[in-house]
Chain A
Amino acid sequence: MRPNQNVVAGQRLPRLDGAVKATGRFVYGADFALPGTLYGKVLRSTLPHARLKRICASRALALPGVRAVIASADVPAARYGNAIKDQTVFATDIVRFIGHPLAAVAADTLEIAEHALAAIEVELEPLPPLYDPEAALAPGALLLHPGWQSYTALPVIARDGNVAGRSRMRHGDVDAAFAEAYRVYEHRFTTALQHAGYTEPRAASATWDSTGVLTVWSNGQLPFEVQATLSDILQLQPSRIRVVVPGVGGGFGGKLRIGVEHFAALLARASGRPVKMVTTSEEELTAAHPRQAAIITLKTGVTRDGRILAREGRVIVDCGAYSGSGPGVGAVALQCLYGPYRTPHYRLESLAVYTNKVPAGSFRAPSGPMANFAVESQMDMIARDLGIDPLEIRLRNVVQEGDLGPAGEVLRDVSIEECLRRAADAIGWHDRMTTPGRGKGLACSWWMTTGGSSGVFIKLNPDGSVGLTSGAVELGTGALTGAAQVLAEELAIDLEDVRIAMVDTQHVPYDYGAQGSRTAFSVGNACRAAAANLRAQLFALVAARYGLPAEDMRLHQKCVVAGDKRIPLSEIASQQYTGGGLIAHGTTLNPPSAYDAGRVENHPLPVWNTPSFHAHAADLSVDGETGEVTIHRYVVAQDVGYAINPTYVEGQIEGGVSQGLGQALSEEIVYQDGRVLNANLTDYKMPTSLDMPPVESILVEHASAAGPYGAKGVGEPPCIEPPATVANAIAAATGLWVQSLPITAEKILLGLRGESAA
């Protein structure tokens, strides 16, 4: 499975787009504009829940330079959405969150567009708002979507009133197991909304041609999903919608769902001109796709020596005003709550609930950090209570090769024990001094490598370069460089010989998208398949030309080696033996794994493809008089299967940890009465360079069966464990567990003093 030579794959090579980015020549979606473009802006609701009585655009339309104003009456009455089609482009009769789009304007300049927004007349009649998901679950609670039954949804989704999705995983007899347990622990944890925080705002440019075909330049992660969503919204066949992706300045799942493409498209149609839209910082913090806030209750029964007998857990995921990614996110929380642990009896339930706040999305490892915060904090609490070392209690419980996962699937390529031991060794676990205010903590988890299909076309050019066309978007992770390294390894060429094409849905193969840590894995696999196809073509051509047996041929240093002959690939390509040049196609689709359907109810993703395992450890100090936390060292041991490019794999770990530490210590979108109080980067606190400790990455390589050279998905896992790792280290340092995120200095100080937070 591993490559023969690791000449290109496995090497710390500079990424293909590094120089163009470092010199400011790389064009991002937010930079892109069409000639003659107009500029669009969205008018958004200032009330969290209201009846939209009247909206009138005539004053706005009369302003010089305003070319179109649209609201719900001007767009098809269609609903769209991921799990549930519950969303409309503009509020129709009910406004459901502050930030809910009401109308949109296209004008000659951005300033005119802003003036035009102010000239749109809106009449709203307030309705009682519902902010608390637990209140939304209570019997008799106000229905936020009175027409919920009329929405179409994926058949697997179980819905009821304010519940946008309920999933369950269970096995065995939890109540009997609790009765037998030595001790049963029950805790409640809460986590806050977190902004994905990509540095490049969401942007789109749209134009229609004279035959009614739409082209959208979008900086989103899933161009084929944008195409499908636009198809729903515009009531147009996908073949009449073309999505092109210039550069993307970070996504992290926040650019998964449609951003501003639909507004740009609708305004372009209404005005007859190209339209460019870019979100503002305020829109990103009030109307984007943040990580859901969650409430987790977890009850665990254990034996005297800390072995898990049973778990009962409930995750409430606050969807916001529309389901967004909520139902799927809630469901996946269950596997995270189960953890990489042997659990004989379990009863786990997730509820995705509507409230009058921003619809939330799929930020990196969606629901992972929240569920992990609960299960790993509680693990340490149990360890402390039973007098067992936190590392030891985990080692007693972790899954082994061949164990069953929560859906009854067989777990393969299990490496959690190695990750735990290596992280613990690296942090000096057995060397823990009892300095007051200083402590070490650890946490572990597992996560999926999302499946889904990918295809690539490759083309060998006469100069020996190879064009790589895939439907996968490069977000910045380096995944496409990684896939190109796999391709170059397979074809015995240099990485710099690979040219990656821009993604354009019109002619790239379908790709399930840059999400779920799947890109290098899936595109890498497709590249191996395409390379095999191209190799076969090359060998057949050489065999025919030279009368040599193809079976004895191999590729080496940009040549076909056949006996004592070395024929350069560029020579074969320039001979034009076949029409249209040397082109090959490769695809990949992971087959679904077998599982026990009896353990799972209404779960859209019951089995995790090619799971990865990982453990984090931190050494930190807590200032006992201010509550401020200083992390001295942070260690990650992550099973990456095979590190296609160790530099960029480390980059994912270092970056993921910074997002996780932000969630752990300082980041939250603060809502008060339905309004975001900190809708700017002054008060939404992402880590600066001074907030980051040195991060040591230990790349564990426990090869997977399905990944290219054994690779596993790498991008999401590093943001999962930091909240629990930090919480456990703070508890080790102070004796205090904070059970809500972010764990701010204020919460720590007040907690140490036995005072409750304001």
Chain B
Amino acid sequence: MTHIPLTLTVNGRPYDLLIEPHWTLLHVLRAEIGLPGSKANCLEAECGACTVLLDGKAVNSCILLAALCRGRSIITIEGLGDPEHLHPLQAAFVKHGAVQCGYCIPGMILTAKSFLDEHSERTPSREEIREAISGTLCRCTGYQKIIDAIVAFAAAHPEEQGPAHAP
């Protein structure tokens, strides 16, 4: 088992790590860096609970080798906002009853953010938003209030949104 040095930029901060080449970004975030907000479930890119933003795009961190993230920007749910300073998208989720058990929610919020940023030139329709989250499974909500929250956020914030506070 050979460790290789790796510097990762997560939520705007650099982390100097010694990792094994086969470690996934999810494992490194949770076990090495101490950011457990990205969740572990299927570990096979089938549920989206592990979703983070890589250079602004939603990816499944459970199958992404940490070593391939050198020099790229990683945003986790912790980087979007905290309980005292909610990002408006997080606030919308809370306000619209989109959070039940909450285990899918970090992945769901970042999936939504990635899609909205990808379409920042316009406000996507409800059906487009429904499709945007189709790679992130929720077992509690039936998706309805999650979509309500994203629709409400998109209507109220047509411009691209960065993190709630400088990391």
| A interface with B by C-beta (< 8 Å) | 12, 14-15, 17-28, 30-31, 197-201, 247-250, 252, 278, 280-281, 475-478, 647-648, 650-651, 654-659, 680-682, 686-690, 692, 694-695
The reply to whether A689 and B38 contact each other, CB–CB distance below 8 Å, is: no
What's the nearest-Cβ distance from chain B to residue A654, in Å?
4
Q: Which chain B positions have C-beta within 8 A of A21? A: 99, 102, 105
CB-CB nearest in chain B for A478? B100
What's the nearest-Cβ distance from chain A to residue B83, in Å?
4
What 1/0 flags go to B38-55 for Cβ under 8 Å of A?
111111101101000000
CB-CB nearest in chain B for A21? B102
Q: How many A-B residue pairs lie within 8 Å, measured between CB atoms?
A: 175
- Among B77, B91, B99, B101, contact of A250 (Cβ-Cβ < 8 Å): B101
The reply to whether B90 and A19 contact each other, CB–CB distance below 8 Å, is: yes
The reply to whether B47 and A681 contact each other, CB–CB distance below 8 Å, is: yes
The reply to whether A689 and B143 contact each other, CB–CB distance below 8 Å, is: yes
The reply to whether B143 and A692 contact each other, CB–CB distance below 8 Å, is: yes
Q: Which chain A positions have C-beta within 8 A of B90? A: 19, 22-23
CA distance A199 to B108 in the complex (A): 12
Given contacts A651-B97, A655-B139, contact A249 B102 (CB under 8 A): yes
The reply to whether A654 and B142 contact each other, CB–CB distance below 8 Å, is: yes
The reply to whether A18 and B93 contact each other, CB–CB distance below 8 Å, is: yes
Q: Which chain A positions have C-beta within 8 A of B151? A: none
Which segment of B2-10, B64-72, B129-137, B154-162 sits at the interface?
A: B129-137
Given contacts A26-B102, A655-B139, contact A690 B83 (CB under 8 A): no
- Among B36, B82, B83, B136, contact of A31 (Cβ-Cβ < 8 Å): B36
Given contacts A22-B94, A657-B142, A659-B139, contact A476 B82 (CB under 8 A): no
Given contacts A14-B95, A25-B78, contact A199 B37 (CB under 8 A): no
- What are 8 A-B pairs with beta-carbon distances under 8 A? A21-B105, A24-B77, A25-B83, A199-B49, A201-B40, A201-B41, A476-B103, A651-B141
- Among B82, B103, B135, contact of A200 (Cβ-Cβ < 8 Å): B103
The reply to whether B101 and A198 contact each other, CB–CB distance below 8 Å, is: yes
What's the nearest-Cβ distance from chain B to residue A300, in Å?
32
- Among A12, A199, A690, A694, contact of B101 (Cβ-Cβ < 8 Å): A199
- Interface secondary structure of B, over-half rule: loop
What's the nearest-Cβ distance from chain A to residue B117, in Å?
18
CA distance A198 to B39 in the complex (A): 13
What's the nearest-Cβ distance from chain A to residue B138, in Å?
7
Q: A24-B76, A648-B97 are in contact. List 20 more A-B contacts (CB 8 A).
A: A14-B97, A22-B99, A22-B109, A23-B90, A24-B36, A27-B36, A199-B101, A199-B137, A249-B103, A476-B101, A655-B140, A655-B142, A658-B141, A659-B139, A680-B46, A681-B137, A686-B137, A688-B137, A689-B143, A692-B142
- Among A28, A688, A690, A692, contact of B103 (Cβ-Cβ < 8 Å): A28
Q: Does B125 interact with chain A (Cβ within 8 Å)?
A: no
Q: Which chain A positions have C-beta within 8 A of B130? A: 689-690
CB-CB nearest in chain A for B133? A689
- Among B83, B131, B135, B147, contact of A23 (Cβ-Cβ < 8 Å): B83
Q: Which chain A positions have C-beta within 8 A of B100? A: 250, 476-478, 648, 651, 655
Q: Does B80 interact with chain A (Cβ within 8 Å)?
A: yes
Given contacts A23-B82, A647-B145, A681-B46, contact A199 B109 (CB under 8 A): no
